């Protein structure tokens, strides 16, 4: 049975809210960056034995009840899980009033389909931003994406030197003059992941790297298959040191098709890769878990938000949810929050310079658009949903990537349709995430 936990959950025999609140404060002071508990009985087979389980319990405390535990079961188990945010901060509204935003078009061409930045990646160095996307031809379709299957689709990248105010479209250097991608090569020299102008790109079973801010790409190079039928990688990675990098990808399921996410790692500059751990349980028939977006919380802890499809409450649904690893990717535990029913769009997280975490995603239900939430406490809780825009013409939009500019504002790039024109295009929203909320002394 898959179990979940909340970063704000605590074991508590008391039912007095004041006592519970005081205990939370004490635990927060004791445990440092975040509160968590690990279900020591739930480890992927072969990826975390008794030693890791004991370390997990020592670090984070006892196991927490699964997400679907009833109130009666909670009472029997004498748990208080997920203290209401209203107890700590006052009840927020479900959607925050609009923040000041500035929308612009990165790429638009009549008769074309430009989409899916999340399938390609985004990188930034101060106010220099590079974002990849797929360029095809528009063709009306009764369902699915209106992109012509009988005409070529090619990767492109857009570069901004002024924080997303203006853009120039480029052809990635890994394409031949014919427009075809060059054949995979064998990586002979270890990659320096700490190079100041380093960027990496992951796509399916291939990876690439650049030392000049995406102007020149080396590769592609082939990833091992890790015993799976196929890989479904997109760009999501964490640099640990000069030759040490973790990537978070998805593989095909046992029966084939999308997808099951995992953490992989190289410690020799990309020459060899190892499977570290699976993120969550393998989805059942018709379901998928794909397109992770991952941040480091501490020396050993990782937070990953995953895109999912499955059956909940007897209905087929699409949502994003959080997973925590306390041991650098070896084991993962589903979190009670965030869980956002965004109707089928990948998440993207960044850490702001002030330490807060921003999560952006497309919203594929009326009103169609782009949204965000912010956490000020290492992902324990998330603030009100921020509507960056809600003027989408239909569901086919999103796949955002967000970076922070030198002035502190965020630039979120995504694909969009506005109902005024049939084409899909790449757009950018520049918005201000505000300042961290300052709590009063003693609260």
126-183 pLDDT, tens digit each: 999 999 999 999 999 999 999 999 999 999 999 999 999 999 999 999 999 888 999 9
Answer yes or no: do 147 and 239 share one domain. yes
| DSSP H/E element including 251 | strand 244-251
Q: Which domain holds residue 45?
A: 4-87
Any domain includes 100:
yes
Separation CA 51–CA 38 (nearest Å): 13
| pLDDT bracket for residue 10 (50, 70, 90) | very low
Please give the torsion angle defined by the CA atoms of residues 409, 349, 34 and 263, in that order, rounded to the nearest 10 degrees.
-150
Task: Give yes or no: residues 117 and 48 share one domain.
Answer: no
> Residue 355: CB partners within 8 Å, gap ≥ 6?
376, 436
Regarding whether 47 and 112 lie in a shared domain, the answer is no
Cis peptide bond N-terminal to 367, omega within 30: yes
- Look up the pTM and report it: 0.80
Confidence of residue 99 (pLDDT cuts 50, 70, 90): confident
300 φ/ψ angles, rounded to the nearest 5 degrees: -120, -15
Any domain includes 418: yes
Return the exposure string of 202-232: e unless at least 16 CB atoms fall within 10 Å of the residue's CB, then b. Answer: bbbbbbbbbbebbeebbbbbbbeeeebeebb
Residue 420 domain flag: yes
Examine the pLDDT at 2 and tell me if it is beyond 80.
no
Do 273 and 162 share a domain, yes or no? yes
In this predicted model, what pLDDT tens digit does every residue of 318-377 receive, in sequence order?
A: 999 999 999 999 999 999 999 999 999 999 999 999 999 999 999 999 999 999 999 999
Q: Verify that 66 and 120 share a domain, yes or no.
A: no
Asked, for residue 437, whether it belongs to a domain, the answer is: no
The enclosing domain of 391 has a CATH number of 2.120.10.10
State which H helix or E strand residue 71 sits in. helix 71-77
Nearest to 295 by CA among 8, 48, 27, 34: 34
What is residue 118's DSSP assignment? G
Contact 363, 345 (CB under 8 A): yes
> What is the number of structural domains in the chain?
2
Longest dimension (CA), the chain: 70
Q: In terms of domains, do 33 and 15 share one?
A: yes
Q: Is there a contact between 41 and 63 (Cβ–Cβ < 8 Å)?
A: yes
Tell me the torsion sign for CA atoms 70, 71, 76, 80: positive
| Residue 327 within a domain | yes
Structure tokens at 119: 């399938």
Dihedral, CA atoms, 179, 273, 122, 216, nearest 10 degrees? -50
**443 lies in some domain:** no
The reply to whether 441 falls in a domain is no
Task: Name the nearest CA neighbour of 163 among 425, 403, 433.
Answer: 403
| Cβ-based neighbour number of residue 33 at 10 Å | 16
Residues 59, 139 within the same domain: no
Q: Which of 87, 108, 143 is the last residue of a domain?
A: 87
Residue 437 — pLDDT band, cuts 50, 70, 90?
low
Say yes or no: 41 and 165 in one domain. Answer: no
Here the tokens at position 429 are 């929203």
Q: Is the predicted pLDDT of residue 16 greater than 90, yes or no?
A: no
- E strand map for 97-150: 101-107, 112-115, 122-125, 128-137
pLDDT attached to residue 96? 53
Is 101 found in the same domain as 74? no
Check whether residue 284 and residue 156 sit in a common domain: yes
Do residue 163 and residue 289 come from a single domain? yes
- Whether 442 is covered by a domain: the verdict is no
Identify the pLDDT of residue 305.
98
124 and 17, same domain (yes or no): no
Choose one of 44, 65, 87: the last residue of a domain: 87
Tell which of 71, 87, 103 closes a domain: 87
Cα 381 from Cα 439, distance rounded (Å):
15
């Amino acid at each position: 049975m898959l179990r979940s936990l909340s970063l704000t959950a605590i074991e508590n025999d008391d039912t007095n809210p004041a006592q519970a609140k005081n205990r939370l404060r004490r635990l927060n002071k004791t445990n440092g960056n975040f509160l968590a508990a690990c279900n020591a009985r739930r480890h992927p087979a072969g990826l975390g034995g008794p030693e890791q389980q004991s370390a997990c319990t020592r670090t984070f405390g006892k196991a927490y009840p699964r997400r679907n535990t009833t109130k009666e079961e909670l009472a029997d188990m004498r748990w208080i899980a997920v203290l209401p945010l209203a107890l700590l901060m006052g009840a927020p509204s479900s959607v925050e009033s609009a923040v000041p935003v500035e929308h612009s078009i990165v790429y638009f061409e009549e008769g074309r389909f430009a989409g899916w930045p999340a399938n390609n990646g985004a990188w930034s160095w101060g106010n220099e931003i590079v974002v990849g996307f797929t360029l095809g031809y528009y063709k009306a379709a009764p369902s699915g994406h209106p992109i012509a299957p009988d005409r070529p689709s090619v990767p492109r990248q857009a570069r901004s030197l002024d924080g997303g105010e203006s853009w120039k479209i480029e052809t990635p250097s890994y394409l031949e003059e014919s427009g075809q991608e060059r054949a995979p090569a064998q990586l002979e020299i270890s990659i320096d992941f700490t190079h100041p102008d380093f960027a990496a790109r992951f796509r399916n079973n291939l990876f690439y790297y650049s030392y000049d801010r995406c102007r020149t790409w080396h590769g592609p190079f082939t990833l091992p298959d890790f015993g799976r039928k196929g890989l479904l990688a997109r760009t999501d990675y964490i640099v640990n040191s000069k030759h040490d990098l973790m990537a978070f990808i998805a593989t095909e399921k046992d029966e084939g098709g999308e997808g099951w996410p995992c953490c992989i790692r190289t410690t020799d500059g990309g020459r060899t890769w190892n499977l570290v751990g699976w993120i969550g349980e393998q989805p059942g028939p018709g379901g998928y878990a794909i397109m992770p977006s991952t941040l480091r919380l501490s020396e050993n802890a990782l937070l990953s938000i995953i895109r999912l499809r499955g059956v909940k409450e007897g209905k087929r649904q699409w949502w994003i949810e959080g997973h925590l690893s306390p041991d650098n990717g070896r084991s993962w535990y589903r979190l009670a929050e965030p869980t956002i029913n965004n109707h089928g769009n990948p998440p993207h997280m960044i850490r702001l310079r002030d330490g807060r975490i921003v999560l952006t995603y497309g919203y594929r239900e009326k009103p169609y658009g782009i949204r965000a939430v912010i956490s000020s406490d290492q992902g324990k809780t998330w603030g009100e949903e921020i509507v960056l825009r809600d003027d989408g013409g239909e569901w086919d939009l999103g796949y955002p990537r967000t970076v922070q500019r030198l002035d502190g504002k965020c630039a979120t790039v995504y694909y969009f349709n506005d109902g005024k024109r049939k084409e899909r295009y790449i757009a950018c929203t520049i918005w201000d995430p505000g300042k961290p909320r300052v709590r009063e002394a003693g609260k």
